Structure formats: structure tokens, C-alpha cells
């Protein structure tokens, strides 16, 4: 029996290795894109100089740009560069798209203004195979996999994790309260959240809300979402170009 278990574990590890390799490569590409965007932003910022220090005119050649101007590029150019790198991460193999990262187009307005209807997202499908959801994660799941949505049309939803397993979630006086404490809630953009709860999040589940609280159908309606039903975590917006970047 021990030998069979050892062989099974070895085969499972060998089968998962290509997935983990592809996942690490996708993360590397995204990290490289972020680093490049930050380098461009830093280069575009004007250099600071003490007020009593005169500029060194001798070091500047005729026609050279002013300090901080040499690599200045419009924001949409930086976004397109990041978009190109992210698309490379998705174009590698069918294995990558099926098991690791896949594009997804938003069909709702419930996450505005942070994620808009029509935005194209990268969904990391390995996120919850290798770790647990965290508060603030943007997740994708099918409503058909949520027990409280029985009878509703099957729809793929994108929401934000607010409550974690075992926590008591509610809204009081316009604020989201977890275990009796008002949480930092930058995702609501300062807008009041209508009162609900208190609700205890069952083990193995998360409580999700849309950022656009007034127009979102979420855990307030269909209850907590099983972690096992989460398709993945949204990593970035890859289209349209002006909105490319991390979520």
C-alpha cells in the first residue's frame, strides 16, 4: 500500500510540474512588465536639484532633451508595452490557457469603477490550488456552483473577496464590519454600503461583494461562495489599452 501511495504521489507531482512551470513563467513575465513600467515612470520624473546648484550646461549636447525628458512616453505607450508582454504570457500553450492563466471578458457593471464592463482580464487559475484567498482578491466563479443561486441562469461572475472562512460579516452605518471591526474598504470608493448581516462565513467558503455595491448581486443575495468553485484570481486588465495594469 505504501509503495502504491508513493507511486501515486510521484505521478501526481510529475503531472503538475508543467503547470507550475508555466505559472512561474507567467508570473515572471508580469513582474518584468511591472518593473519596466516603473522604470519608465521613474525616468520620466524630472530630476530634483538643490536651488543653489546651477545646471551643468557643459554636459548637455546641442539638441539633447531636458533632464527627465529623454525617456518620457505617453501612458498609453507604457500600457501597450505591458499589454504585449501579458499577451505573450497567454499565447504560449493550450496547457497555459486551460490550467494556469486565461483571458476573461467582463460582462457586468458590478465591479465599476475598478473593473468595467468589457474589460479583458487575466485569470490566474492556479491561485487557489497553491494558496488561500485573501481579503481584496478579485475572483471569478460560475453562479451555478454557488448553492444559494439555485434556479438562477448560469453566469460567470467577477467579485471581490471581503469575508474569509469563520468571519462574521455585516454592514453598519454604511461601513463593512468584520468580527465587530470596521475594515479598511478602499474598493467602495467611499460610498456607503447598505446594511446587511450579520452573517458568519462557513468553513471552506468566502463572502464576496461587488465594488459597485448599489448595483451588485453578490453574497448578500446568494450567500457565501465555496472556495473550491473559484475559477481563479484576477491578476490584471489586459484590454482596453488605457486601462492595462494590475488589478
Report the catalytic residues: 110, 159
Residue 239 DSSP label: E
3-state SS, residue 9: helix
Task: Pull the grid cell for residue 85.
Answer: 508582454
3-state SS, residue 202: coil
Rounded-to-integer distance, Cα 234 and Cα 247, Å = 7
CA distances for 23 relative to 116, 165, 238, angstroms: 26, 26, 17
Identify any residues that bridge with 178 across adjacent strands, giving them in sequence order: 169, 181
**Closest by CA position to 99, among listed 231, 237, 239, 245:** 231
Report the chain's C-alpha Rg in angstroms. Answer: 23
Amino acid at each position: 500500500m505504501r509503495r502504491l501511495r508513493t507511486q501515486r504521489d510521484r505521478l501526481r507531482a510529475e503531472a503538475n510540474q508543467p503547470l507550475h512551470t508555466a505559472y512561474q513563467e507567467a508570473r515572471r513575465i508580469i513582474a518584468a512588465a511591472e518593473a519596466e513600467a516603473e522604470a519608465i515612470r521613474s525616468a520620466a520624473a524630472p530630476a530634483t536639484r538643490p536651488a543653489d546648484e546651477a545646471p551643468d550646461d557643459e554636459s548637455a549636447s546641442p539638441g539633447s532633451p531636458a533632464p527627465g525628458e529623454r525617456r518620457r512616453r505617453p501612458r498609453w505607450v507604457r500600457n501597450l508595452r505591458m499589454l504585449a508582454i501579458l499577451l505573450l504570457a497567454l499565447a504560449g500553450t493550450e496547457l497555459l490557457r486551460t490550467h494556469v492563466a486565461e483571458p476573461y471578458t467582463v460582462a457586468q457593471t458590478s465591479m465599476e469603477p475598478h473593473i468595467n464592463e468589457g474589460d479583458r482580464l487575466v485569470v490566474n487559475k492556479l491561485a487557489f490550488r497553491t494558496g488561500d484567498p485573501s481579503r481584496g482578491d478579485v475572483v471569478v466563479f460560475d453562479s451555478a456552483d454557488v448553492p444559494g443561486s439555485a434556479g438562477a441562469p448560469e453566469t460567470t461572475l467577477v467579485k471581490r473577496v471581503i469575508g474569509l472562512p469563520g468571519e462574521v460579516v455585516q454592514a453598519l452605518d454604511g461601513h463593512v464590519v468584520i468580527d465587530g471591526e470596521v475594515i479598511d474598504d478602499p474598493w467602495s470608493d467611499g460610498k456607503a454600503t447598505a446594511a446587511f448581516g450579520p452573517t458568519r462565513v462557513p468553513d471552506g467558503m468566502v463572502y464576496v461583494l461587488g465594488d459597485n455595491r448599489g448595483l451588485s448581486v453578490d453574497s448578500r443575495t446568494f450567500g457565501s461562495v465555496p472556495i473550491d468553485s473559484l475559477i481563479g484570481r484576477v491578476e490584471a486588465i489586459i484590454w482596453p489599452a488605457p486601462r492595462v495594469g494590475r488589478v
